[in-house]
Amino acid sequence: MVTASTVDHPTRRDFLFVATGAVAAVGGVATLWPFISQMNPDASTIAAGAPIEVDLSPVAEGQDIKVFWRGKPIYISHRTKKQVEEVRSVPLSNLPDPATDQSRTKDGHEQWLVVIGICTHLGCIPIAHEGNYDGFFCPCHGSQYDASGRIRQGPAPLNLPVPPYQFVSDTKIQIG
């Protein structure tokens, strides 16, 4: 026989039932968490493809910096007006891999050159502000690039590649 007083008031048994269910639910989640978490990509995999932002404000005119994106060296050059004028005056017929300087820079930011710093001949790392063209010089086999990263002489067949990048402000770019 059930009385009205036992139905209306929670008992110790009701509390134990709810508490046991809650502990079982938390234990189940804690048990499944490592299995679900191991399916996420490794931190190095995430970092390898993640875009990077670079602050350009400390880079003086005529200076360049090297950053790394996806394990590749990226040269960012703050070119002088003289350098920009010189590379834009070169006839395309004089270039082994013809490309205009305008196609290698962003409109309104012509003074900034962003290239992947890997020689297109055998994958060496060129040196900035060296060679006959005030651009990049690869000491391994003598490839010389101008201040626009275009091959001018040597065995390299192609220009230094331009990575995908965009200006997020006047002093900051995002690569990737």
Q: Where in the sequence numbering do the catalytic residues fall?
A: 141
Q: Judging by beta carbons within 10 Å of its beta carbon (0-12, 13-18, 19+), is residue 159 exposed, middle or buried?
A: buried
The HSE-up count of residue 155 (CA atoms within 13 Å, CB side) is: 9
Q: Whole-angstrom Cα distance, residue 24 to residue 63?
A: 62
DSSP reduced 3-state for 76? strand
Torsions phi, psi for 153 (to 5 deg): -160, 155
Q: Whole-angstrom Cα distance, residue 15 to residue 165?
A: 60
Given a contact cutoff of 8 angstroms between Cβ atoms, the answer to whether 87 and 146 are in contact is yes
User: Pairing state of beta strands 112-116 and 52-55?
Assistant: unpaired
